[in-house]
């Protein structure tokens, strides 16, 4: 039985990052949880993005080496609606993706999550996404990177968006494109905070997904063969190590049962109170590993 | 380093010549969780002690450049990094009185990955801030 790999996204620490936390602090916090992987936001942690200075690159490689963390996923955006009056062309969108693939590779990353523009409230990606990606499959192959758009609330697993990505994988036969699952899709209880936003009634009305879209965890098994990375989204783990929003027991059971052996990358998205994320991430790392052990002992089934 | 909150304490100041102030500046960290092309920002409404200064008129100062809204909307190369501050420049002849003011900023961020009709997303914060020099 394969075991899971554990990482942390620096996004977990947003707002702390740059105010009460440096890049080195983030490496220290992540490594001390016992995680082995670091996930970053490209246009975020990379100072001078998209062309970091050689001094910054030196610092990056020194930190990777000192803290023994493996670069996992590099988050990128394709700014489809580039201005209010025009969208990116296919050539421009493909060029943005190529630039990010090269930068991610240079920093040692193996996965790149592109965020495409969408055209609907169900988050249908702009149809140009296929051309952006298809023009970059050879490059991704050369660089050893898997491009993985995320399945993120309010988009569930059984949905045309997810199916569209799967159809693309089947049609092209590529091994350089896969699904990222954001575990927020399994959320089954309402949020009180969404990042820096305290959720009010109006937000709940317009963004019903904040109450949880409750994807049944066993549906993970239906798509597991296409999943290459998991962002372990969470918002609040209480003092008894109970997650107040994500039902981790059935989620971990389903992930383990599928045979998935890739990364679970902690992605805290709760209250942005200074320093809160640091311990929340530690709690989640303990919780996830405890549940994996319980599964291995036959206690989770 | 930046302060944790969106609206920074330092940088809340009058602008223009002493004795003939033309307005004031509010320093903010980027109102987004990642660095951003300037064209993805759609202006900043500032409210001070209940008086509203609309996003259509306010300018953004970042590094050594100043952008009016129309310029910012078309600026697809210059970016605002996560560790940089910018300042919202607001016209107000005479400037503000030194002292404690209630300052609110409503930043309008465009997310291509939000549905088109709600893709301009408001980021709002309010605080008491102290302006030191007349």
Say if residues A234 and A269 touch (Cβ distance below 8 Å). yes
Confidence at residue A122, expressed as pLDDT on a 0 to 100 scale: 85
Is residue A202 one of the residues assigned to a domain?
A: yes
In a 3-state reduction of DSSP, which class is residue B93? coil
Is residue A218 one of the residues assigned to a domain?
A: yes
Whether chain A has a CB inside 8 Å of the CB on B10: the answer is: no
Contact A84 B76 (CB under 8 A): no
Contact B36 A119 (CB under 8 A): no
Is residue A301 one of the residues assigned to a domain?
A: no
Residues in A lying within 8 Å of B, measured between beta carbons: 11, 14-20, 22, 41, 43-45, 47-49, 75, 77-84, 115-121, 123, 126, 195-196, 206, 274
CATH of the domain at A118: 3.20.20.150
**Sign of dihedral through CA atoms A232, A236, A241, A244?**
negative
H or E stretch at B15: strand B13-15
Q: Which domain holds residue A111?
A: 5-296
A195 to chain B: which residues are within 8 Å by CB?
33
**Count of pairs with CB atoms under 8 A, one residue in A, one in B:** 86
Which segments in chain A show pLDDT lower than 70?
Answer: 1-2
Confidence at residue A203, expressed as pLDDT on a 0 to 100 scale: 84
Q: How far is A114 from chain B (nearest CA, A)?
A: 10
Mean of pLDDT values over B71-84 = 98
Across all residues in chain B, what is the average pLDDT? 97
Q: How far is B115 from chain A (nearest CA, A)?
A: 5
| pLDDT tens-place string over residues B22-56 | 999 999 999 999 999 999 999 999 999 999 999 99
Q: Catalytic: which of A29, A105, A152, A235?
A: A152
Q: What's the number of domains chain A is made of? A: 1
Q: Which of A41, A52, A77, A88 to mutate to test the interface with B (most CBs of B within 10 A)?
A: A77
Contact A119 B116 (CB under 8 A): yes
Confidence at residue A2, expressed as pLDDT on a 0 to 100 scale: 66
Q: Which long-range contacts (CB under 8 A, 24 or more apart) does A271-275 make?
A: A271/A192, A271/A193, A271/A235, A271/A236, A272/A14, A272/A15, A272/A16, A272/A193, A272/A195, A272/A196, A274/A15, A274/A16, A274/A19, A274/A20, A274/B4, A275/A16, A275/A20
Task: Say what the ipTM of the complex is.
Answer: 0.95
**Strand stretches in chain A, DSSP E:** 5-9, 37-41, 70-77, 111-115, 146-147, 150-151, 179-182, 193-194, 197-198, 227-234, 263-268
Catalytic residue check, A152 = yes
Confidence at residue B51, expressed as pLDDT on a 0 to 100 scale: 98
Confidence at residue A207, expressed as pLDDT on a 0 to 100 scale: 82
CA–CA distance, A128 with B81 (Å, rounded to integer): 27
């Amino acid at each position: 039985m394969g075991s899971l790999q554990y990482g942390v996204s620096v996004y977990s620490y947003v707002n702390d990052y740059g105010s009460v936390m440096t890049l080195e602090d983030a490496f220290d916090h992540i490594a001390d949880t016992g995680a082995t992987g670091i996930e970053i936001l490209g246009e975020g942690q990379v100072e001078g993005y998209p062309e970091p200075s050689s001094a910054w690159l030196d610092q990056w490689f020194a930190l990777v080496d000192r803290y023994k963390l493996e670069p996992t996923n590099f988050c990128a955006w394709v700014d489809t609606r580039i201005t209010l009056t025009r969208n990116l062309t296919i050539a421009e969108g493909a060029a943005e993706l190529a630039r990010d693939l090269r930068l991610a590779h240079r920093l040692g990353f193996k996965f790149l999550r592109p965020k495409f523009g969408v055209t609907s409230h169900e988050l249908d990606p702009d149809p140009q996404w296929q051309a952006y990606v298809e023009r970059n499959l050879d490059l991704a192959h050369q660089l050893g990177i898997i491009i993985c758009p995320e399945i993120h609330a309010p988009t569930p697993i059984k949905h045309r968006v997810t199916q569209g990505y799967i159809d693309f994988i089947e049609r092209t036969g590529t091994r350089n494109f896969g699904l990222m699952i954001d575990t927020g899709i399994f959320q089954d209880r309402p949020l009180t905070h969404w990042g820096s936003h305290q959720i009010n009634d109006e937000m709940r009305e317009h963004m019903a997904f904040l109450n949880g879209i409750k994807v049944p965890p066993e549906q993970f098994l239906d798509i597991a063969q296409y999943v290459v990375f998991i962002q372990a989204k969470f918002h609040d783990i209480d003092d008894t190590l109970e997650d107040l929003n994500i039902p981790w027991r059935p989620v971990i059971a389903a992930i383990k049962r599928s045979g998935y052996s890739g990364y679970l990358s902690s992605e805290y998205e709760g209250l942005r109170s200074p320093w809160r994320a640091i311990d929340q991430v530690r709690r989640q790392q303990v919780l996830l590993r405890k549940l994996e052990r319980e599964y291995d002992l036959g206690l989770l089934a | 380093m930046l302060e944790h909150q969106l609206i920074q304490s330092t940088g809340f100041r009058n602008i223009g010549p002493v004795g003939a102030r033309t307005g004031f500046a509010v320093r903010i960290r980027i109102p987004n969780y990642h660095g951003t092309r300037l064209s993805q920002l759609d202006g900043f409404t500032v409210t001070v002690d209940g008086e509203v200064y609309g996003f259509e008129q306010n300018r953004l100062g970042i590094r050594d450049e100043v952008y009016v809204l129309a310029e910012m909307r078309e600026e697809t190369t210059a970016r605002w990094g996560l560790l940089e501050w910018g300042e919202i420049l607001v016209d107000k002849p005479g400037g503000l009185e030194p002292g404690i003011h209630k300052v609110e900023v409503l930043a309008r961020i465009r997310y291509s990955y939000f549905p088109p009709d709600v893709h301009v997303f408001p980021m709002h914060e309010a605080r008491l801030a102290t302006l030191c020099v007349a």
